[in-house]
Chain A
Amino acid sequence: MIKRIVYREWRIPPARYWTILGILAVIAGIGGLAALYMEHEGHWVTGMNNSVVWGTPHVFAVFLIVAASGALNVASIGSVFGKGAYKPFGRLSGLLAVALLVGGLLVLVLDLGRPDRLIVAMTTYNFRSIFAWNIFLYTGFMAIVIAYLWSMADRMGAVFYKPMGLFAFAWRLALTTGTGSIFGFIVGRQAFDTAFLAPMFIIMSFAYGLAIFLLVLMFTFDQEGRVLGDKIVRRLKNLLGVFVAAILYFTVVYFLTKLYGAKNYELVSWMLLGGGTFTVVFWIGWVLIGGLVPLGILYHPELGKDRNWIAAACALVILGGLATMYVVIIASQAFPLQIFPGQTVLEAAPAGGIIAEPAHYSPSLPEFLLGLGGMAVALLITAGGVRVLQFLPESLADESMPADEGAKATGSALAEA
């Protein structure tokens, strides 16, 4: 018989809870110190330069922002696509979405040349800039998700549950489109300059967000001994598999799109074969760790049933996601600008990267620590949220899961999840 879903605060023993919080706080604190150091000294202490202007902090920041919109997807499947089994996840999904976005934005802001001028960014706008739109997309996202959470949790808000779910879903699609377009709208760089990046970022967000969601869900439930049914875990991990496969498909199409123009032959062969570290990160990180290996685990008849292996697959998707962002953001900048097609640059003085060789970038420790700090902040918000508010269902045993809304929501890929 189907029971009413009861939500309850995360009540693990205080000692364990505070240890988790303490570790996260220390990582976040170190990230803050790293940001302070880079801000005080200037960006010369980072691996960034005038050719690779966005470095490791952007890798983490964009990953977190993309994952944030993806984390909300789980709630959308419940409300927009009427899958009852996903409804109990709605609250955690919303919380994670806000937490990941805050973490990502923090990294983005702290990597600015002038973070002290944030107020300028919030008050002076150029609406031709996709960056300026994103400021509204991000802040709007947080407000909408908080309202969405209210509609899930409060009896008075229940009437807005469906419309808010739909609105939040539309907004998250806009947000990820905006994030992908930051890169897609750059006409001067060959690796960018394609609207294809917007849908590709959306598909990536589905996978990264779900991987983080699944890890957090399994961890929190396991720590407190709450029941998480096999059936629902199987549904979630199969869905993750679909999303990971979709990323691989989009990756193939991205390179095929590029290969269609002769001007991009060099770019594609550099990225796939001759790009040194970038090529290694592409094949090992993006394709293998983030794609084929987790796919193999998730659909393996034995391993795919083991929660530890599922957790490992989620972790691999996250690592692979960071590798993907590294290639998308940094390799694309490192490839020389095609300023003089048909000509070879023999000399450039001062050099600074328009020479025919790819630009140099090696990540520095403070950059990495700042990025890690952003992740810690996201988890800190999540850990705090589930502890003090009723985000987590008491039980997700298979027999207590609500039924899907049935025939109402067919005809969509998500609905098939």
Chain B
Amino acid sequence: MNHHEDKIDGGRRAFFGVAAGVTAGVVAPGVVLHAVSAAPRSEPVTDAVRWGLLIDTTKCADGCRACVDACDLENGLDLQIKPEGQSQVQWDRQKSVWIRKVKLQDNQTRRVTNLPLMCQHCEHPPCVDVCPTGASFKRADGIVMVDRHTCIGCRYCMMACPYKARSFIHENVHGQLTRVPRGKGCVESCNLCVSRRDYGIASTACVDACAAEGHNAMTFGDLNDPESPISQALKAIPSRQIREDLALNTGVRYSGV
């Protein structure tokens, strides 16, 4: 219709060309660098490894709660604040606990045992079976955890867990760690410090804390690797699973119970 409008605007083309070049020049190194730094973390998890824990209850000290405190610190559970107006007793029942220190006594022999109890990272986890959305899942490397994007907060996994390992976030979350996102209305539990797996750190906060205390009651490692310290220890000393009768093949094993 109008001849003038059909004419190509050379200046405009040149501007777009330069703009595109400059943008690419600025962004590309970032993309490349990011890709390089992310490489080890972007590899898919495989079932070549199965992470687990061995707890030697004979070394677990009465009254020590180093593992519990370390877990709280690692996962931002120490940042939990009692909602205003809530009683301390009820808050103690409601706040998240990923690891418990338990003191047992045998009814017959009166022998006392101390041990930490957390998610047992079962091969056949009841929490995963019952989850309607699949938010409760087991990674290929054996870690059982909750996908915070698909958890609808139905708490069926908490009903199903035979170890009472899971907690529901009852309150609004103020302040949380980047590596451990938490949110009101979702369920959470021990994930064997899963963010450490991304960085290739072969330990968990509780294991480190136990070693730092000089107790060395906990060993973390790959149950599939016959040469790993945990496999060697499991071969050398008798151990058992808690609630073996359920045949869940737990990734956390105990000796001395």
Contacts and interface: CB of A to CB of B under 8 A. Distances in A.
B103 A49 contact: no
A345 B104 contact: yes
A202 interface: no
Contacts of A350: 68, 92, 95, 97, 100
A187 B171 contact: no
A187 B162 contact: yes
Interface residues of A, number: 53
Interface stretch (A114-122, A231-239, A244-252): A114-122
B232 interface: no
A353 interface: yes
B207 interface: no
A198 B68 CA distance: 40
Kindly name the residue among A44, A121, A339, A359 whose own CB sees the greatest number of chain B CB atoms within 10 A: A44
Kindly name the residue among B94, B113, B117, B154 whose own CB sees the greatest number of chain A CB atoms within 10 A: B154
A388 interface: no
B93 A112 contact: no
A188 B83 contact: no
B50 interface: no
B134 A114 contact: no
Contacts of A48: 94, 168, 170
B67 to A, nearest CB: 11
Interface string B95-136: 111001111111110001100010000000010111111110
Nearest to B86: A44
B160 A186 contact: yes
A337 interface: yes
Contact of A348 (B103, B128, B151, B158): B103
Interface string A170-195: 00000000000010011111000000
Kindly name the residue among A344, A348, A350 whose own CB sees the greatest number of chain B CB atoms within 10 A: A350
Interface string A314-344: 0000000000000000000100010110111
B107 A344 contact: yes
A354 interface: yes
Contacts of B194: none
Given A125-B132, A345-B104, A354-B100, A131 B164 contact: no
A344 B105 contact: yes
A49 B87 CA distance: 13
A389 to B, nearest CB: 34
27 contacts: A42-B83, A42-B169, A42-B172, A42-B184, A43-B168, A48-B94, A49-B93, A50-B166, A54-B155, A113-B151, A114-B152, A125-B134, A131-B154, A188-B161, A188-B162, A188-B163, A188-B246, A189-B159, A333-B159, A346-B105, A347-B101, A348-B102, A348-B103, A349-B68, A349-B101, A352-B164, A354-B102
